[in-house]
Amino acid sequence: DAKTTQPNSMESNEEEPVHLPCNHSTISGTDYIHWYRQLPSQGPEYVIHGLTSNVNNRMASLAIAEDRKSSTLILHRATLRDAAVYYCILRLGAGGTSYGKLTFGQGTILTVHP
Amino acid sequence: DAGVIQSPRHEVTEMGQEVTLRCKPISGHNSLFWYRQTMMRGLELLIYFNNNVPIDDSGMPEDRFSAKMPNASFSTLKIQPSEPRDSAVYFCASSFSGGRTDTQYFGPGTRLTVL
């Protein structure tokens, strides 16, 4: 599996935007970029994913570099509830034989200050 | 939708005892994943099933670990005999594989402590 690199930790203030970076220089053309987050004492939850184009959903936005070697998860207005570990994961496209297998790295610990 | 259900939520046992963790995936999902999370090793995939068939068990640490999925609505992860180093949080996740996103939905986890 192609690897991702994320900062160990980041801090933000409440109601400010947060940009969480992820480097994936060995990404292949069929790899989707997925983001999951894990709130304290909970299982991971899906945030967003994309292939080439920027994506928006109710939780966040995903900005993907033109060469796809990096991406940024954007939380437009951080809340205290957004404090979590954020994982950037590369995954083969839907279908095929991977059956959606995810390989988690260490992620980025996001701290949100009131 | 009840989400992925895991039981028990907490388990404390003594070394050498058999431990069975249970998981009920989301109805309609055809893939099921077992993960283990520790501070030292992070979140590791142990095994995953598709249509009740084990696809990849390369993450299972030892023969003491076994997993079954007798039907689409139930899976177990068994450790026999348990050891203190098995102490961790075990997560079960399910997804519909073959759809556009294959999003995984995680259960709340089982916190296992082996004394």
Write the pLDDT tens digit of every residue in B14-67.
999 999 999 999 999 999 999 999 999 999 999 999 999 999 999 998 899 999
Phi-psi region of B96 (alpha: psi -120 to 50; beta: other; left: phi over 0): beta
> Does B106 lie at the interface with A, CB-CB under 8 angstroms?
yes
Strand B105-106, strand B74-79: pairing: unpaired
Share of chain B above pLDDT 70, in %: 96
**Looking at CA atoms only, how far is residue B84 from chain A in angstroms?**
21
Answer yes or no: are the C-beta atoms of B60 and B70 closer than 8 Å.
Answer: no
Would the pLDDT of A10 be above 80? yes
Instruction: Return the bridge partners of A104, or none.
Output: none
C-alpha A95/C-alpha B16 separation (Å) is 40
Q: What is the mean pLDDT of residues A60-76?
A: 96
Would the pLDDT of A96 be above 60? no
* pLDDT tier at A99, thresholds 50, 70, 90: low
- Whether omega before B81 lies within 30 degrees of 0, making that bond cis, reads yes
Answer yes or no: are the C-beta atoms of B73 and B23 closer than 8 Å.
Answer: no
Answer yes or no: are the C-beta atoms of A57 and A50 closer than 8 Å.
Answer: no
> Does B31 lie at the interface with A, CB-CB under 8 angstroms?
yes
User: Which are the contacts of A29, defined by CB distance < 8 A and separation ≥ 6?
Assistant: none
Answer yes or no: are the C-beta atoms of B48 and B36 closer than 8 Å.
Answer: no
Mean pLDDT for chain B?
94
Smallest Cβ distance to A100: which of B4, B44, B104?
B104
Comparing alpha-carbon positions, the chain B residue that sits nearest to A95 is B98
Phi, psi values for residue A81, rounded to 5°: -70, -15
> Does B21 lie at the interface with A, CB-CB under 8 angstroms?
no
Taking CB atoms and an 8 Å limit, are A43 and B106 in contact across chains? yes
